[in-house]
């Protein structure tokens, strides 16, 4: 990691020394938003998660820059792009955040809501500027060299199936259940693959691709750019494959991207989305096959987290608050 130098040089610290700070941030957000599970108030749940995560990050050792965060897309006044967090005593680092991934899952008490964050070395996390949405492909390591966002979905299915040693009919694909994906879902089904269609939560879908125990082979479709960058941190750490391309959903977003000098045609690979050492952390909010929800026990609140770092996946059960 780069050293931060102001009046005097600071000691270089490995990015992975910040893992405890990241875990504290996601578990604080998860516990805060859990109070809103099933209350049908997405904004309140997201605000609770964002406030708690920001407060936790204020104690992180060092100086962190929010490269991609809440901001205008989620009408959030905190953890916006460019905000500085941390106590200033330690290394510089970049962060990408989604304090509550799957706000509708939380509001409706459905499985899949997560508090998520990625930490990276300074300058390594890609900033999408005014781009809020991106088209994505995520695959396991065995298929990382065969994907191309310019391929039609039918061709992608054939190539991924061959790389995984399967038939297309054996593939399980995650595509979010959004109006924009109606045709994509229909084409994948006609090609013979099975399709999981969660209402949201493409970070969770991407993690299902990366973790063999969850029996998913491929993620396709358009999701948020914060989720894309955090996904890329997990994909890179585990050697998977990912491609992304900005996919504005409104004319105003497309105009802002062009005005910023960014291309709507460029395809970014995983090493461009996350260009250096990074790690990913998630904590469960509403439960599900990936992570359980926070729970009370012996006067404490227990949370379940996932840490993806340096080719390893660690499942952590910890006390959120004493």
pLDDT per position in the chain (322 positions), as tens?
Answer: 444 433 334 445 578 889 999 999 999 999 999 999 999 999 999 999 999 999 999 999 999 999 988 755 555 568 888 899 999 998 999 999 999 999 999 999 999 999 999 999 999 999 988 999 999 999 999 999 999 999 999 999 999 999 999 999 999 999 999 999 999 999 999 999 999 999 888 899 999 999 988 899 999 999 998 899 999 999 999 999 999 999 999 999 999 999 999 999 999 999 999 999 999 999 999 999 999 999 987 778 899 999 999 999 999 997 755 4
Instruction: Give the span between the Cα atoms of 278 and 100, in whole angstroms.
Output: 20
Topology of domain 133-273, CATH: D-Maltodextrin-Binding Protein; domain 2 (3.40.190)
- Strand partners for 232: none
Instruction: Give the span between the Cα atoms of 178 and 165, in whole angstroms.
Output: 30
Taking the whole predicted model, whether its pTM rises above 0.85 is answered as yes
Tokens representing 31 are 């516990």
Q: Which residues are annotated as a binding site?
A: 46, 70, 98, 101, 227
- Could you give the 3-state DSSP secondary structure of residue 267? coil
Q: For residue 314, give the nearest of 251, 237, 257 by alpha carbon.
A: 237
- Could you give the 3-state DSSP secondary structure of residue 302? strand
Main-chain dihedrals φ then ψ at residue 262, nearest 5 degrees:
-105, 150
Main-chain dihedrals φ then ψ at residue 148, nearest 5 degrees:
-155, 120
pLDDT score at 5: 36
Tokens representing 302 are 């227990």
Q: For residue 270, give the nearest of 121, 123, 132, 138 by alpha carbon.
A: 138
Instruction: Give the span between the Cα atoms of 319 and 322, in whole angstroms.
Output: 7
Burial class (CB in 10 A: 0-12, 13-18, 19+), 88: middle
Domain with CATH 3.30.540.10 in the chain: 15-125+278-321
Q: What's the Rg (C-alpha) of the chain?
A: 19
Tokens representing 172 are 């399980």
Domain with CATH 3.40.190.90 in the chain: 133-273
Instruction: Give the span between the Cα atoms of 227 and 235, in whole angstroms.
Output: 12
Instruction: Give the span between the Cα atoms of 21 and 276, in whole angstroms.
Output: 19
Sheet strands (E) in 17-163 = 63-68, 84-85, 92-101, 114-120, 133-139
Residue 255: other Cβ atoms inside 10 A:
12
CATH number assigned to the domain with residue range 15-125+278-321, chosen from the 4 options 3.30.390.50, 3.30.540.10, 3.40.50.2300, 3.40.50.300: 3.30.540.10
Q: Which residues are annotated as a binding site for Mn(2+)?
A: 46, 70, 98, 101, 227
């Amino acid at each position: 990691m780069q050293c931060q130098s102001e009046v005097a040089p600071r000691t270089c610290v490995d990015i992975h020394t910040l893992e405890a700070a990241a875990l504290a941030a996601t578990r604080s957000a998860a516990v805060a938003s859990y109070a809103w599970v099933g209350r049908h108030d997405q904004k309140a749940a997201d605000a609770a998660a964002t406030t708690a995560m920001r407060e936790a990050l204020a104690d992180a050792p060092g100086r962190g820059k929010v490269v991609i965060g809440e901001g205008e897309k989620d009408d959030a006044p905190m953890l916006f792009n460019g905000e500085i967090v941390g106590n200033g005593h330690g290394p510089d680092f970049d962060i990408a955040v989604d304090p509550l991934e799957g706000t509708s899952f939380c509001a409706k008490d459905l499985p899949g809501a997560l508090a998520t964050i990625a930490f990276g070395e300074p300058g390594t996390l890609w900033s999408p500027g005014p781009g809020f949405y991106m088209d994505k492909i995520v695959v396991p390591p065995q298929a990382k060299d065969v994907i191309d966002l310019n391929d039609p979905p039918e061709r992608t299915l054939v190539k991924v199936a061959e790389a995984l040693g399967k038939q297309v009919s054996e593939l399980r694909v995650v595509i979010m259940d959004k109006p924009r994906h109606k045709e994509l879902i229909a084409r994948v089904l006609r090609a013979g693959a099975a399709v999981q269609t969660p209402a949201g939560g493409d970070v969770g879908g991407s993690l299902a691709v990366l973790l063999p125990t969850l029996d998913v082979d491929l993620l396709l479709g358009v999701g948020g750019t914060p989720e894309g960058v955090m996904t890329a941190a997990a994909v890179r750490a585990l050697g998977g494959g990912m491609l992304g391309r900005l996919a504005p959903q409104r004319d105003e977003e497309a105009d802002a991207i062009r005005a910023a000098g960014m291309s709507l045609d460029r395809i970014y690979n995983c090493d461009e989305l996350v260009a250096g050492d990074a790690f990913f952390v998630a904590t469960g909010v509403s439960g599900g096959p990936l992570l359980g929800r926070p729970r009370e026990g012996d006067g404490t609140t227990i949370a379940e987290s996932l840490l993806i770092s340096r080719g390893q996946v660690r499942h952590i059960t910890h006390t959120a608050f004493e």
